[in-house]
Structure formats: C-alpha cells, structure tokens
Amino acid sequence: MDTTFSQWAWLIPLFPFAAFLMLLAFGRGQRMLGVTLGAASSFAGLVLSILVLIEHMTDGTAYYQYAFKWLHFGSVTLNAGFEVTNLTAIMLVVVTSVSFLVNVYSAGYMKDDERISVFFSYVALFSFSMLGLVLADNMLTLYIFWELVGVCSFLLVGFWYSKPEAKAAAKKAFIVTRIGDAGLLLGILLLYWYMPDHALDFVRIGNVFEGNTGVIAAGVTTWIAVLIFIGAVGKSGQFPLHVWLPDAMEGPTPISALIHAATMVAAGVYLVARTFDIFQASQTAMDIVAYVGGFTAIFAATIGVAQNDIKRILAYSTVSQLGYMMMALGLNSLTGGIFHLFTHAFFKALLFLGAGSVIHAVHTQNIHEMGGLGSKMRITTWTFAIGALALSGIPPFSGFWSKDMILHTALQEKPFLFVIGVAAAFFTAFYMSRLFFLVFMGKPKGDHAHESPSSMTIPLVVLAVLAVVAGFIQTPWNDTLGTWLTDGAEKAHGGGGLVMVISAAVGLLGLYLGWLVFVKGTIARDAVSSRAPWLVRLLERKYYMDELYEMLLVRPLRGLGLLLNLIDDYVVDGIVRAVGGTAVLFGRGGTRLQSGQIQTYGLVTLLGIVILIAAIVGRRFW
C-alpha cells in the first residue's frame, strides 16, 4: 500500500491557513496580495488533493492515518490527527476545486470592493476550517473545525455589514446553526461516555457500531445518532433548521457558491456519512434521516417555485437537494448521498457563480427585473443552462445520474419516498425553467448588461464541463464510485430502466411546463395565483416558518429575559416596598435609604434560602 501523498495531506488545510496569516499581517492596502495568495494557496491545495485522490483511485485500499497524543484527562487519552480514507479524499477534491475556482472568480467579482483583502483572508480561513473538518480523524477535532466553519460563515455572510439585512442574516445563520451544534455536542458527549475507553476516533467508532455488536445499547445508539443528525440538520439546512440558509444569501455571491452550495452545507451530509456506522446500527435513526431528508426535499422545492430573488431560488434549491442527499443516506445508500453531494457541488456552484455573473451585470437580484440576457451574456447563459439541466435531472448531465440513483434506492426501500422524490424533481425542473426563461429569454429590460470578465467566465466554463461529466463515475452500468467508496459493500443498482425513464420524463415535463408558462404563454402566469392566492402566498411566505420561529422561540426567550428583569424591578421591589412601608409606619424616624433596591437584594437572598431549603430538604421530612 503506497501512501506517498496521503501522508502529506495535512498540508492541504495549511496552505490556506498560511495565506490567512499572511493576509492578516500584510493585507492592509495590498489589493492584489489577497487575490494572489488566495488563488495560489487554494491551487496548491487542489494539486495535492488531486494527487491524493489519484493515489486512492489506483489503490482502492489506500489508507493513511496519523495521530498524536493531544489531551489527557483522568484515565482517558484523546488523540488528534488526520485520516485519509476514500471518502475524505473525494471530499478534499470537491472542497479544494470549488474553493480554487471561487477564489479566481472573486478576483473579478470583488474587484471594486475596498475590503477585498479582508474578503480573501476570510475565505482562506474558511477553506482552512473546512479542510480541517474533512481531514479530522475524531469527533472532537471535527467539532472544533465545525464551529470554526460556522464562525467564518458568520463573518462572510455579514461581509457587507452596511446592509442591515446582511447583519441580521449573519446573526440568524450563526444562532440557528448553533442550535444544531448544541445537539451535535450532546451527541459527542453521549458517545464519549458510552464508547469503550472513551474513544472518539472514527476508526474505533466504526468498529464498535459496525454490525450492531451490542456493545452500546440500542436506545443509546438511537439517541447518539439522532443528536449527531441534529447537528447535521443545522449545518445542512434541513427542516426545521433550514431558515438560515436562504437569508444567508445576503453575503457576496461567490460565498454563496463556496459555502452555501458546495462545502459547508455539505458538511452535515459528510458528518452523517462519516459516522454512518452509528446510523446503520439504528433503524429508527435511519428512518428519521430518510423522512426528514425527503420532507425537506419536497418542502423546499415547492417554496422555490414562488420566490423572486435569483439567489433565494437557488438557496431553496440547495436545501431541497441536500434533502435528497440525506434521504439517500437514510435509505442506507452511502454512495447515493455522496455521489449527489459530489455532482451537486459542481453544478450548484456553477449556478451560483452564474447568478453572480448576472447580478454583476444587471445589479438586481429580482428575476422579474431581468430578461433577455441570453444574447448579451453568451458564456454565462450557456453555462447556466448546463447547470440548470444538471439540476433538473436531464440526461446525460451529472445531476441525472446521482438523482436517478437516489430515486432507484427509494423505490426499492420506501416507495413513498420515491413518490416524494419524483414530485420534488418535478418542482425542481419547473422552478429552474422559470428562473432560466425569465432571466435569459424574453425582452431585455435594460441595455447596459454585458458579459463578465474572463476571470469570472473561465471558472464557469470549467464548472460547466464538470457538471456534464461528473456523473459518469457512477451509472447503472458502471459502479466505480460505489465499489470504491464502500469497499464493495454496496452493489450496483443495475436495471432501473423504469426509474430512469420516470426521472427524465418528470424533469422534461417540469421544463416543458415552465416553457409553456413563461415563454409561450399558453398557460397564463397567474393561472394559480388568480385561483388560489392563498397557496401562492403560503409559498411566498415560505410556509410562515420565520414567523413561527419568532412566535415560538425568539419572543418567549426575549420575554423571559424581560420578565426576569421586570420581576427584579417591580414584583420583588414591590414586596419590599410594602414591607418597607409598613416598617416606616411603625417607626416614623426610620431612616430612608438612598435606594430601595438594597433591601430587595437581602429579601431575595432570604427567599432564595427558604426556597432552596424547602425544595431540597423539605422532601426529606414530609
């Protein structure tokens, strides 16, 4: 087993980290430095990642792990290190390639921003954290990078902080994903306690859970899996914690492509895949994953139909596609989930960057204010079309193959989810054709639009090529990825002619319907909204999820804070005033203190003791 390159894999995250440090130290006023360092460091990472991947491709059993003693408490020793498996190798390539292309693209897109080097330093820090997350060999290190990724996302979403929406979105993204992270942390703690020797590294986790040996009780396994899944739900924008992802579109568009399409949001899927043995040991947890994923897929796809902001449509599409990946994992198809992650990373990054190119040209994000860009921005249009076809699942583009695999698995395992998946695929095709036709066809709404500079179009072309070919690594006739990824455990899904036909037909149907409505006009655009305005409203308002959160969580919590302060100010104070007033009545000469508050504190203290004693000791005597 030759691991020449794998043992140097730890360098991959260090390239961007070095770039970050240099930008922090010398970045001020050096506009070109950010571009150069960002691109160079991510390119170095990409080259090494590809070498690592080739090494793993040529030798399917290549594996490298290195760890050193890191923490020591009580009788427990925690190691930290990195591990290169086939799964990590493919993730490394996904992350570094998208990161490199986004760096190049940003050179054009962010050209006029005065804080361009700050931007590149944040991106470098993000790449470092994300690559660290991918390479981590144990849960604790993964969690640390997981949090760092969240902090970087916070900074990048709020990069244009002068927009209040961007600020609010950054906060929302951070707080909402934190809820998920709390679940993940609890899951890790539970795992820590129940694992033999308190081991947290993936190898031993795999050994313990593989084959359901009963080392850890079934109920506990389910809890651990569900808590880890909650972390994944937060990061990967699954229902009901998806609300942050569409808002996060307030960040610069290259960031949406990098973080909110290809890498960070995929971290949740990656986490589930990395701890797949735990999930496989609990059917309940698998079902939860599958149904949450399936529900998210259809839920977000329907919302996407009624949105008017080009990036928000893509964001809901991302949520929905992540739902597909989760569904695949929940249906016991590791290959399906990772395969879709792989293809989605390319075509969704392509779509976001294409959208960025459009926004760059027309300076609006509302698709109704665009139109007829097809003739003016040829490269953007063609590449965007490829991305849209891949997303809609039209053969032979990459999205078709991965979606087909998921749908096929669903049909075999849970036909209900197959129906859901097909319906979501229909909506996907429909909102993409709506988006495409409104933006690129029809009459031009302004005449100043022009093609973007080559630093932006070249990444588009590269991604478009990838969006076409990436699907061929795993087709019904060719099981390369599955065998390689799961060591032959998952067999090819063969046959499936019917599923392929249905999946392609549904995609074409969605596109055709979109064409009828938005180009040909056979069906009036207000066909639905005139008959069922409530339905459109419900979708526009995203099923009122934000309002629901406001009502159920934000307000009660704020209220609690207010209440505690009010109790402090009025109730306790009032009691004291009453007591004090009586005292004053009795002793006319009673001194008046400067502030009424101080008696309050004494009284609260005494009340505290009484309650404490009554509650804890009382139960022993009565």
Partner 1 sequence: MDAAQQQLQSLTWSDAGYLAPEWILIAFAILLAVLDLFMPQRSGRSIIGWLTLGGLLTSLGFVVWRVLDMANKASDAEAAGQAASVTIRLMADSYRIDYFSSMLKIVFLVATALIVLMSLGTVKRAEIPDKGEFYYLLLPAVVGAMIMASSGDLITLYIGLELLSITTYVLVGMRKHAVQSSEAAFKYVVTGGISSALILFGMSYLYGVTGATNLGAIAQGVQQHAADYPALLYVGFFFILAGLGIKIAAAPFHYWAADVYQGAPTPVTAFLAVVSKGAAFAVIFRIVYNVAFYASSPGKPIADDVFLAVNVLAAAAMLIGSTMALRQFNVKRLIALSGVANAGYMLVPLGLSLKGMHASNFGEFVFYLAVYLLMTIGALSVFSVISKSVGHDEVGGFSGLYYRAPWTAAAMIVFVLSLAGLPVTGGFFGKLFILLGAAQSRLYWIVAIMVVSSVISYYFYFRVIRQMFMRSTIDNEVDVPATSGVVIWLCAIATVVLGIVPGPVLDWIHSHFSIVNDLFIR
User: What residues are paired with 65 via a beta bridge?
Assistant: 83
Q: Considering only residues 111, 171, 204, 577, which one is a binding residue for partner 1 as defined by CB under 8 A?
A: 171
Residues 6 or more apart whose CB falls under 8 angstroms from that of 364 comprise 370
- The distance of closest approach from Cβ of residue 602 to partner 1 in the complex, given in angstroms and rounded to an integer, is 5
Contact range with partner 1 by CB under 8 A, out of 273-281, 413-421, 579-587, 589-597: 589-597
Pick between residue 74 and residue 587 the one whose CB is nearest to partner 1: 74
113 binds partner 1 (CB under 8 A): no
Task: Show contacts with partner 1 in window 197-216 (CB under 8 A).
Answer: none
Neighbours of 369 (CB within 10 A): 15
- The distance of closest approach from Cβ of residue 561 to partner 1 in the complex, given in angstroms and rounded to an integer, is 4
592 binds partner 1 (CB under 8 A): no
Is residue 365 left, alpha or beta, with left meaning phi > 0 and alpha meaning psi from -120 to 50? alpha
Pick between residue 527 and residue 598 the one whose CB is nearest to partner 1: 598
Size of the site for partner 1 (CB under 8 A): 60
405 binds partner 1 (CB under 8 A): no
609 binds partner 1 (CB under 8 A): yes
Task: Copy the structure tokens of residue 359.
Answer: 């926004």
- The distance of closest approach from Cβ of residue 573 to partner 1 in the complex, given in angstroms and rounded to an integer, is 10
497 binds partner 1 (CB under 8 A): no
Give CA separation, 588 vs 576, 580, 585, 591, 592, in Å: 17, 12, 6, 9, 10
Pick between residue 268 and residue 337 the one whose CB is nearest to partner 1: 268
Pick between residue 159 and residue 427 the one whose CB is nearest to partner 1: 159
Write out the DSSP string of 296-349: HHHHHHHHHHT--BHHHHHHHHHHHHHHHHHHHHHTT-HHHHHHHHHHHHHHHH
Neighbours of 291 (CB within 10 A): 17
Is residue 66 left, alpha or beta, with left meaning phi > 0 and alpha meaning psi from -120 to 50? beta
Residues 6 or more apart whose CB falls under 8 angstroms from that of 370 comprise 310, 358, 362, 364, 438, 439, 445
616 binds partner 1 (CB under 8 A): yes
Contact range with partner 1 by CB under 8 A, out of 53-61, 143-151, 269-277, 441-449: 143-151
Pick between residue 516 and residue 611 the one whose CB is nearest to partner 1: 611
Task: Show contacts with partner 1 in window 179-198 (CB under 8 A).
Answer: 179, 182, 185-186, 189-190, 192-193
From the number of C-beta atoms within 10 Å of its C-beta (0-12, 13-18, 19+), residue 618 rates as exposed
Scan for tokens 């900074």, then name that residue.
155
Task: Copy the structure tokens of residue 386.
Answer: 């490829």
- The distance of closest approach from Cβ of residue 567 to partner 1 in the complex, given in angstroms and rounded to an integer, is 10
591 binds partner 1 (CB under 8 A): no
SS3 category, 442: coil
Total residue count of the chain as it appears in this document: 622
Task: Show contacts with partner 1 in window 63-82 (CB under 8 A).
Answer: 69-74
- The distance of closest approach from Cβ of residue 174 to partner 1 in the complex, given in angstroms and rounded to an integer, is 6
22 binds partner 1 (CB under 8 A): no
Task: List contacts with partner 1 (CB under 8 A).
Answer: 69-74, 140, 143-144, 147-148, 151, 154-155, 158, 161-162, 166-167, 170-171, 174-175, 178-179, 182, 185-186, 189-190, 192-193, 557-558, 560-562, 564-565, 568, 594-595, 597-598, 600-602, 604-605, 607-609, 611-613, 615-617, 620-621
